[in-house]
Structure 1
Amino acid sequence: MDRHRFRPGPFAEVTRVPAGDRWDLVFARDLRHPPEKVWAALTEPDQLAQWAPFLTSRDLGTPGDATLSTVDGDQRFDAPTTVRRAERPTLLEYTWGDDLLRWELTRTDAGTRLTLRHRMGKPDLAPMMAAGWHLCLDVAGHLLDGDPVGPIRGAEARDFGWERLRDAYAERLDS
């Protein structure tokens, strides 16, 4: 796909739930690929580099320490990471700095139901995170379809509708 023609797809199902003194953004969408293929996109460094908001120092498919480097233009910000659980191809859980990401993959007739639980410190971050994950997972969908558009990260996301997505997710999460 021509990157300049890329537009965000349909909204994901989202909720925001308390998790002790923190909050979980629960972000769910369906992908038309089997869990094994989605798992590879979530764990393999070469695939993550094509859609995720970060680069990884290693394959995330096994427990242990790693570094996730958030990318924004020419800048990189390293965050310590620990893969806590890696149950191929159904569950991946790791820290990202102070946050916790839990990816749940469920086989469906049409492919995979992907549910991300992103634990964060402040509930008002949820619409921003939802908008970012929306764009990232749209890009991942194109990658899985064999039609890569390249990663959309950091400030560049504003050129692809991030602010509109943030506002729409804020409405959905407040209702």
Structure 2
Amino acid sequence: MSPSEADTGPLAQVDCQRDAGGWTLVFVRELPQPPERVWDVLTDPAHLRAWSPYTANRNLGEVGDASLSMLDSEQPDIPTTVTRAEPPHVLEYSWQLEQFGPSALRWELEPSAGGTRLTLRRTIRDQDWISKIAAGWHLCLFVAERLLQGQPIAPIIGKAALGHGWEELHIAYATRLHISRGDP
């Protein structure tokens, strides 16, 4: 077992698909809580701040303009548009970051026997980023799961991720997805 598995759980089910917008990472993880609880963690700015690389200026559970603020940088706020919000099943929003170009996130929550089957679809233009993004979401969702379990830990973002197995996760996801690792 690698250090990243010991600390942050097994790899998620992943796929990489080519589409009109570039490449889409499909990242699937089972969470032991019901979709309503997971929805709150994905949409409420206070919850986002506790596990994700960003927070929002408003609840993301409604369609419309919003602004995201990255927690690990001094980058200005990122204009974001929530294009679909169907609580507690589908949340979709988009933005544009310099290094990724146009980017879209789609969260799908399905009830499962164990709680919720969460599917994240993250579309970016450059396939070389897919395994890096998978490693980052792996760590973020590990923190979100701890939050949902009532055992919160600090977000694992930015340089802190390197101390929590990000590089090993990046390599493992690149291997699983059959894509080039590129530079970390």
**Alignment TM-score, normalising by the size of structure 2:** 0.88
2:158 aligned residue (151, 154, 157) = 154
Q: 3-state SS of the aligned residue for 1:50?
A: helix
TM-superposed CA distance for 1:109, in Å, is: 1.2
1:131 aligned residue (118, 124, 135) = 135
Say yes or no: does 1:37 pair with 2:37.
Answer: yes
Task: Tell me the equivalent position of 1:87.
Answer: 86
Is contact 2:131–2:173 with CA below 8 Å preserved after alignment?
yes
Q: 3-state SS of the aligned residue for 1:128?
A: helix
The one-letter code matched in structure 2 to 1:95 is S
Q: 3-state SS of the aligned residue for 1:25?
A: strand
Identity %: 49
1:55 & 1:162 partners in 2: Cα distance?
Answer: 21
2:108 aligned residue (82, 93, 104) = 104
TM-superposed CA distance for 1:76, in Å, is: 4.1
- The CA RMSD over aligned residues, in Å, is 1.4
Q: Deviations over 1:1-53 (max 9, x none)?
A: xxxxx921111000000011501000001000000000000000110000011
How many residues are matched? 169
Q: Deviations over 1:115-166 (max 9, x none)?
A: 0000001111100000000000000000000000021111111111111100
2:74 & 2:171 partners in 1: Cα distance?
Answer: 26
Q: 3-state SS of the aligned residue for 2:135?
A: helix
TM-superposed CA distance for 1:96, in Å, is: 2.9
Is contact 1:71–1:77 with CA below 8 Å preserved after alignment?
no
TM-superposed CA distance for 1:87, in Å, is: 0.1
Is contact 1:54–1:70 with CA below 8 Å preserved after alignment?
yes
1:110 & 1:76 partners in 2: Cα distance?
Answer: 38
Task: Tell me the equivalent position of 2:61.
Answer: 61
Please list every run of 5 or more consecutive structure 2 residues that lacks an aligned counterpart in the other structure.
Answer: 1-5, 97-101, 180-184
The one-letter code matched in structure 2 to 1:166 is H
Q: 3-state SS of the aligned residue for 1:75?
A: coil
Task: Tell me the equivalent position of 2:147.
Answer: 143
1:154 & 1:142 partners in 2: Cα distance?
Answer: 19
The one-letter code matched in structure 1 to 2:62 is T
TM-superposed CA distance for 1:77, in Å, is: 4.2
1:21 & 1:92 partners in 2: Cα distance?
Answer: 18
